[in-house]
Homo-oligomer: A and B are copies of this chain.
Amino acid sequence: MAVVRAAPSDTCIGFLRSHPALAPKALADPSLTAESRSEQGGLGMTSLGDQLARFEAGSSDYESRFGFPFIVCVRRLTPPFVLRGLERRLANTPEQERIAALAEIGHITRLRLVDRVSGPGIPPTTGHLSAHVLDTARGKAAEGVRIEVFREGVLIKEAVTNHDGRSDEPLLADGPLRIGRYELRFHIEEYYANWPNVTDPPWYDVIPIRFGVAEPEGHYHIPLLLGAWTYTTYRGS
């Protein structure tokens, strides 16, 4: 990155120009590398629906304005935040944007390198999402609570709490957490079924907790302190 940043402006721009445009346009390009194809195919920009046209228009504006395609490390963002980033970066000066685009290439390259090498000195590229359910009406961990993980409205993971009130594995820990909006749904219908004086319907059945992930390499821990008629959540550590 130091070499790239120190290169003459023309060299940098040439480097940026050689980068493929973002999906879905790019997927039609036969010269796309396998890695780009995989990264961009997994991006799911088509999930933008009505906003896809906005993204396509913004991409064109961007390329006209800066002379190189819009580059972003798609493994670190959900599609709505790719779009938001595009629209913000359109307001940059060419100089600011050259730095921003090079930083994204840095992120992309770092992730590709980390996929191939191992050993000490690996930079942090993995985020971490976990949850913990404590039963504060009984003073112990809540076992057997099913947790669904949604990201931008899409179910991406399920787990069940063990005797320690946690999932056996982290909910997410296999790469950057994509910047975006997440929701955990804690299914306590069955957990509650054994309680005294449960009403019908029960006071709580599914507890949804929504939160935003802003740091792809961050640690996010979501405790649920579950009483019979109350709950508390917070950003844990």
Q: Which A residues have a C-beta under 8 Å from some C-beta of B?
A: 81, 134, 136-141, 164-165, 179-181, 197, 199-208, 210-215, 225, 227-237
Contacts and interface: CB of A to CB of B under 8 A. Distances in A.
Contacts of A235: 136, 139, 203, 229-230
Contact of A227 (B165, B199, B212, B234): B234
Contacts of A225: 230, 232, 234
A230 B136 contact: yes
23 contacts: A81-B201, A134-B236, A136-B229, A136-B234, A137-B227, A138-B228, A164-B237, A165-B237, A179-B201, A180-B201, A181-B205, A199-B212, A201-B212, A201-B214, A203-B211, A204-B210, A204-B211, A208-B208, A225-B232, A227-B234, A230-B233, A230-B234, A231-B233
B204 A207 contact: no
Nearest to A211: B203
Q: Which of A199, A208, A230 has most chain B Cβ within 10 Å?
A: A230
Nearest to A215: B199
Given A134-B237, A237-B140, A237-B165, A200 B214 contact: yes
A230 B234 CA distance: 4
